[in-house]
């Protein structure tokens, strides 16, 4: 590579940040630009529950201090949103109409919380948890010993729930199809893990379909979750945790294959020779497995960013298909997961 080679990374999360560092280590002379919609430097979403453990400054949660980017000559374009990728002309078009040219592009835009269609109209009455700002807002609005109603029950939600219970909040989990996602738990085993969640302090509601989230009536908690067939639960906040949806709208029409994610081979290259992808945003076709693979969890995502960067700089490293993706019960008798950062 040369000083004229420009690597552009869309996303500043675990995959994008690991890729930027690896690119610099492998090519000291190249240009590296990260583009992110975030207003803050990289804070992993796996760190966000720490807000409820007393972490009061976003600086304590940074993956890298600001001087890291200066030292490694990585340009970070914060609060910048990608509108479209023009793969033919190798340009990233930003929402404010600026164009950024690239020689090689890594899409590491991650994913946002998936919300089932029947719940989308109630989004304004629910709290998200995808950013530091979301976490602080939730922490400030939740009263002492407040009651959180969680919908779905994916592993990101359960990670937050165990923290909330530990600091004295009440958590009621309305379990849905996404319970334990992205783990694939056999139906025969679910009862065992649900029993453990109850021992950990969660209240569990099973076999109830949520039909609405409403503003609470005067004299009662501010939110009410309504069930099909009648009845419901009152709480201080409602939080959906129903899996992730890849953030890919800007790749539509970019001349790359998209299925449930951005389609890549085991070397994380897309169907365009100048574009790679890593993290929650991509779907991997594995010839050995003869199937599609998705990789989740902070350590898998970082590894994908590293592998993509190696291959963008002339390597041919493939991602391993041996995932440690088993849900288990630890020595303390609690559920644990390789998708959690703090175990």
| Closest by CA position to 192, among listed 14, 89, 339, 334 | 334
Q: What is the DSSP letter of 275?
A: E
Beta bridge partners of 99: 93
Of the ranges 28-37, 198-207, 292-301, 328-337, which one carries the lowest mean pLDDT score?
292-301
- Crossing angle, helix 14-26 and helix 298-312, to 10 degrees? 30
Beta bridge partners of 86: 91
| pLDDT tens digits, 262-289 | 999 999 999 999 999 999 898 888 777 6
Beta bridge partners of 175: 152
Evaluate if residue 24 carries a pLDDT over 60: yes
Residue count of the chain, please give it: 343
| pLDDT tens digits, 193-208 | 999 999 999 999 999 9
- What is the pTM assigned to this prediction? 0.89
Specify the pLDDT at position 2: 62
Evaluate if residue 342 carries a pLDDT over 70: no
Specify the pLDDT at position 323: 66
More confident residue, 64 or 114: 114
Average the pLDDT over 14-23 and give the result.
93
| Predicted confidence band of residue 135 (pLDDT cuts 50, 70, 90) | very high
Average per-residue pLDDT in the chain? 91
Percent of the chain having pLDDT more than 70?
A: 96
Evaluate if residue 54 carries a pLDDT over 90: no
Q: What is the DSSP letter of 231?
A: -
| pLDDT tens digits, 208-240 | 999 999 999 889 999 999 999 889 999 999 999
- 3-class DSSP assignment, residue 77: strand
Average the pLDDT over 293-319 and give the result.
88
The CA-atom distances, in angstroms, between 287 and each of 45, 272, 290, 293, 325 are 31, 19, 5, 11, 20
Specify the pLDDT at position 4: 82
| Predicted confidence band of residue 74 (pLDDT cuts 50, 70, 90) | very high
Angstrom distance (rounded) from CA 14 to CA 140: 27
Average the pLDDT over 10-30 and give the result.
93
Backbone dihedral angles phi then psi of residue 142, each to the nearest 5 degrees: -80, 120
Structural domains of the chain ordered from first start: 6-112+245-312 (3.50.50.60), 115-242 (3.50.50.60)
Beta bridge partners of 44: none
Q: Which helix (H) or strand (E) holds 337?
A: none
Average the pLDDT over 8-20 and give the result.
92
Evaluate if residue 321 carries a pLDDT over 80: no
- 3-class DSSP assignment, residue 105: strand
Question: What is the phi-psi region of residue 134: left when phi exceeds 0, alpha when psi lies from -120 to 50, beta otherwise?
Answer: alpha
**Neighbouring residues of 315: CB distance < 8 A, sequence distance ≥ 6:** none
Specify the pLDDT at position 290: 64
Percent of the chain having pLDDT more than 90?
A: 68
Specify the pLDDT at position 190: 93
Cα torsion through 294, 83, 241, 214, rounded to 10: -160
Q: What is the DSSP letter of 181?
A: T
Question: Do 82 and 203 meet the contact criterion of CB atoms below 8 Å apart?
Answer: no
Structure tokens at 85: 């990728």
Angstrom distance (rounded) from CA 338 to CA 333: 16
Peptide bond before 182: cis, by omega within 30 degrees of 0? yes
Specify the pLDDT at position 215: 95
Average the pLDDT over 101-125 and give the result.
94
Average the pLDDT over 41-64 and give the result.
83
How many other C-beta atoms can be found within 10 angstroms of the C-beta atom of residue 84? Answer: 17
Evaluate if residue 41 carries a pLDDT over 70: yes
């Amino acid at each position: 590579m040369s000083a004229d080679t420009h690597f552009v990374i869309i996303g500043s999360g675990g995959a994008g940040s690991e890729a930027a560092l690896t690119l610099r280590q492998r090519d000291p002379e190249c240009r590296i630009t990260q583009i992110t919609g975030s207003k803050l430097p990289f804070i992993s979403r796996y760190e966000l529950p720490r807000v409820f453990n007393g972490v009061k400054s976003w600086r304590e949660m940074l993956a890298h201090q600001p001087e890291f980017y200066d030292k490694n000559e990585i340009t970070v374009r914060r609060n910048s949103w990608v509108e479209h990728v023009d793969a033919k002309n190798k340009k990233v078009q930003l929402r404010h109409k600026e164009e950024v040219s690239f020689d090689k592009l890594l899409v590491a835009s991650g994913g946002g919380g998936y919300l089932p269609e029947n719940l989308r109209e109630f989004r304004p009455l629910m709290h998200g948890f995808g950013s530091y700002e979301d976490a602080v807002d939730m922490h400030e609005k939740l009263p002492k010993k407040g009651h959180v109603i969680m919908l779905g029950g994916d592993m990101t939600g359960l990670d937050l729930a165990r923290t909330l219970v530990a600091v004295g909040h009440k958590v009621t989990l309305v379990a849905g199809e996404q319970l334990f996602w992205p783990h694939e738990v056999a139906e025969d085993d679910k009862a065992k893990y649900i029993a453990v969640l109850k021992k950990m302090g969660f209240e569990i509601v099973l076999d109830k379909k949520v039909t609405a989230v409403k503003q609470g009536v005067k004299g009662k908690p501010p939110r009410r979750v309504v069930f099909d067939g009648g009845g419901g639960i009152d709480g201080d906040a409602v939080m959906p945790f129903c899996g992730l949806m890849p953030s890919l709208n800007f790749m539509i029409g970019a001349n790359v294959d998209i299925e449930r994610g951005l389609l890549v081979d085991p070397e994380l290259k897309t169907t365009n020779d100048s574009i790679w992808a890593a993290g929650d945003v991509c779907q991997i076709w594995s010839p050995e497995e003869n199937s599609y693979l998705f990789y989740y969890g902070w350590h898998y995502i970082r590894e994908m960013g590293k592998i993509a960067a190696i291959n963008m700089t002339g390597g041919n490293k493939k991602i391993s298909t041996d995932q440690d993706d088993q849900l288990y019960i630890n020595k303390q008798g609690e559920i644990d997961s390789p998708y959690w950062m703090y175990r």
